[in-house]
Structure 1
Amino acid sequence: MIPHLLIIPGLGDSGEKHWQHFWLQKFPNATKVVQDNWNEPQLDQWLNRLTQTIHKLDQPTILVAHSLAVSLVLHWVAQNSNPNIIGALLVAPADVDSPDHTPDFLRNFAPIPTDKLPFPAIVIGTENDTYCAPERVQFLAKKWGSTFINIGYEGHINSDSDLAFWEEGQQFLNQLIAQINPTK
């Protein structure tokens, strides 16, 4: 059985063609963090919303973060804990530390925390993501104590990647669930 999924979109939200949108339709146990301002993100505001949402959880939950939301999750972990968070699927992190990969208005999410995560996680990157170099994604995954998976040439793993229900991602989710110790 799949635990509760907390879908955490990045900059601009996840549109109708984004795999996160499809997952919200597919998994009845999925909910989404909704930010007040998707296009001019402020770390403190986004963190407050994520914290409020997580505090309402009453069941084991896997965080499913994309792009800027990966940095958001790492900032949340650096300041908080919640026993209901049992794992994370961290997809296509945006390198908020790099002016070559992300716009300056995202620098308030930098530096991206690099402490080891207190729960199992899988970090997924690509060879051709314009928002983060594959070597950087692999480096971050290692720092976070997470499994790293490079899925080749799928860009930023977003709406432009046209992945619909992203069956391959669902396999990675099942792999993560298998890693999670059910006795925690």
Structure 2
Amino acid sequence: MTAPTVLIVPGWRNSGPGHWQTLWQQRLPQARRVEQRDWMSPRRQAWVDQLGDAVLQAPGPVVIVAHSLGCIATTHLPPSVSARIQGALLVAPADPERRGILADFAPVPYQKLPYRSVLVASSNDPFCPIRLSGAYARAWGSEFVRLNDAGHINAESGHGEWPLGLALLQSLGAEVPLPRREAVT
């Protein structure tokens, strides 16, 4: 059985060099980033189409690793695409109704996802209140992991490689290589 493809789905403005998504893409041999044509002025249909194409082009099952607006794009996928998804790690979802530039992604779907998902949110995320993240998790049927004072769970909030996230990713069936340890001489 082959390992699932890990699709990294960044949010609005992409994930920079110190972001855990970028670090994971470099670390995980089966990881692929979903590139968007316009990171600054996102349009729902364009983003969902790019993500859908990436899922359908994967050689087998897929595990989604989405951040912020990438979480919302993932929930907009049609059933024919969602059927190829084994699981999803949905981190710090966006609230497109609170930010005008993201309004094209509203309304957010409120139905159960047809695959296992884990939603991770922070008690002080400046872009989505924790109560809304909890409502998303209930609607999507996601396991809910609440982090205290973790900001937007990105490089700016100090999340670097984010080992907890890697453990959650592994729980969804993705292969996560153990970190190399220096030999003691």
State the TM-score, normalized to the length of structure 1. 0.89
2-structure distance, mates of 1:54, 1:175? 20
8 Å Cα contact 1:126/1:152 also seen in 2: yes
Q: Which residue of 2 aligns with 1:181?
A: none
CA distances 1:82-110 after superposition (whole Å, capped 9, x unpaired): 5431000000000113x2xxx21110000
2-structure distance, mates of 1:43, 1:3? 26
Give the letter aligned to residue 24 of structure 1.
Q
CA distances 1:125-176 after superposition (whole Å, capped 9, x unpaired): 0010011111111111011011000111110011202222110111111233
Alignment of 1:115 onto 2:111: yes
SS at match of 1:76: coil
SS at match of 2:172: helix
2-structure distance, mates of 1:83, 1:129? 31
1-structure distance, mates of 2:3, 2:57? 19
Greater CA drift, 34-43 or 46-55? 46-55
Equivalent residue runs for 1:101-140 within 5 Å: 103-140=99-136
- CA positional deviation for 1:31: 0.3
SS at match of 1:139: helix
Q: Which residue of 2 aligns with 1:42?
A: 43
RMSD: 1.6
The percentage of aligned residue pairs carrying the same residue is 36
SS at match of 1:90: strand
8 Å Cα contact 1:17/1:162 also seen in 2: no
Alignment of 1:92 onto 2:92: yes
Change (3 A) 1:118 1:38: same
Q: Which residue of 1 aligns with 2:7?
A: 6
Give the letter aligned to residue 48 of structure 1.
D
Alignment of 1:63 onto 2:59: no
Alignment of 1:17 onto 2:13: no
Give runs of ≥4 in structure 1 deviating > 2 Å: 79-84, 174-178
Give the letter aligned to residue 92 of structure 1.
A
Greater CA drift, 55-64 or 115-124? 55-64
SS at match of 1:136: helix
8 Å Cα contact 1:71/1:112 also seen in 2: yes
Give the letter aligned to residue 88 of structure 1.
A
- CA positional deviation for 1:53: 1.3
Q: Which residue of 2 aligns with 1:150?
A: 146
Q: Which residue of 1 aligns with 2:31?
A: 30
Greater CA drift, 18-27 or 163-172? 163-172
Higher alpha-carbon Rg: 2
2-structure distance, mates of 1:35, 1:80? 21
8 Å Cα contact 2:5/2:63 also seen in 1: yes
Q: Kindly tell me the number of residue pairs found equivalent between the two proteins.
A: 173
2-structure distance, mates of 1:2, 1:161? 31
1-structure distance, mates of 2:59, 2:167? 25
